[in-house]
Amino acid sequence: MWAKTIKNTLVVSLLMMASACDAFQAPEIAPAKNQNAYQPNVLVKEVSIPWGMAQLPSGDILFTERQGELRLVRDDKLVGDKISGLPEIYAAGQGGLLDIKLHPDYAKNGWIYLTYSSPDGEGDGTNTALMRAKFDAEKLTLTHQEKLYKGSDNTIKAHHYGSRIAFDDKGYVYFSIGDRGERDVKPQSLSLDGGKIYRLHDDGRIPADNPFVGQEGAKQAMYSYGHRNPQGLAKNPKTGAIWSHEHGPRGGDEVNLVMPGKNYGWPVITHGRNYSGTSITDLTEKEGMEKPLHHWTPSIAPSGMIFVTSDKYPEWQGKVLVGSLKFGYLVLLDITDNTVVGQSTLFEGIGRVRSLMQGNDGYIYVGTDGGGIKRIEPVT
């Protein structure tokens, strides 16, 4: 019964979103001047919604399909068999198999981290879970599966799961859970999962210095709160800080510096409006709440986020790359310290950008909904 309710609720929600989003134009962002030196070349065509990607030391690429499949690319070809050993995944609406990230010491310990929508726990519906496992490349299966965290507040709503994964320089793992469509309940509550970014030890233990450890009723794994739907999470390689971006509603997409214990304001402060065009709040700032480093209004529907460090793209080094689902391009952010000082677009028409990866081979990979996984290569 609850599965049918999710489906019906989602259809209505998507129709409202599509109608509202069509009512405004793209934000005014100039194209990057140097993009003609590079071109996106299709690596694998046979993909649907490639939510996350990770490149193994061998050069093989693992990628998640939101419908609940983990796939392997070897020698620029999709390996036919699906990878087995996944947990129970509820793939509906915006839920399914989501992000994937290798442990920073993967070459030594072999751990792979995944997020997914899980029906485990009490109550109807699902919430986001984080797991780790090891990959047997010969048998194409996951082994040593360990569930590290599961949002305990299930809901039948099938959107705003988050969910990205990042590691910092100290080996802590961060991941996001969106507000799960319950904006007036979860983001501002310290006792409910959702609308949060979490921090754990790599084995799932809660760090003793997490900002809410010891506070009665608070989620001990919580690192920051007041988020809407963060689908970008990345470490700044120069500072070690974790950056995020999140979907606003109709406008108000945000880029944030993730800091311990901070409240990022959703839905008390926002630059966005309801999809119907009505006001959510008149406030864009409030004492005790963090303003975004940057926002897109109108919304670009950001998904995926990386800091460019590769010497294959010298003009982009030190900049942040973000994908746009809505407008089918990449956005290159110029940053100085913790300030966004400029932006430009790349590769308009590349497709609905779902995921980004800078591989260990130095190339940037772009996962697009229904348009394949593409590798950004220099024009020769």
Q: What values do phi and psi take at 131, rounded to 5? A: -135, 165
Q: Which residues pair with 117 in a beta bridge?
A: 128
Concatenated DSSP letters of 157-185:
--------EEE-TTS-EEEEE--TT-TTT
DSSP 30: P
Q: Exposure of 220 by Cβ count < 10 A (0-12 exposed, 13-18 middle, 19+ buried)?
A: middle
- Is the separation of the CB atoms in 255 and 341 below 8 Å? no
Concatenated DSSP letters of 99-138:
EEEE-TTHHHH--EEEEEEE--SSSSSBEEEEEEEEEETT
Taking the CB of residue 236, how many other CB atoms lie within 10 A of it?
A: 18
d(CA 178, CA 138) in angstroms, rounded, equals 35
115 token code pair: 């997020």
Taking the CB of residue 132, how many other CB atoms lie within 10 A of it?
A: 22
Query: Between vectors from CA 266 to CA 240 and to CA 241, what angle results, nearest 5°?
Result: 0
- Is the separation of the CB atoms in 267 and 280 below 8 Å? yes
Q: What values do phi and psi take at 271, rounded to 5? A: -90, 0
Strand 97-102 relative to strand 112-118: parallel, antiparallel, unpaired?
antiparallel
Q: Which residues pair with 339 in a beta bridge?
A: 336
Contacts of 71 (CB under 8 A, 6+ apart): 47, 62, 63, 64, 65, 78, 79, 82, 83
Q: Which residues are catalytic?
A: 160
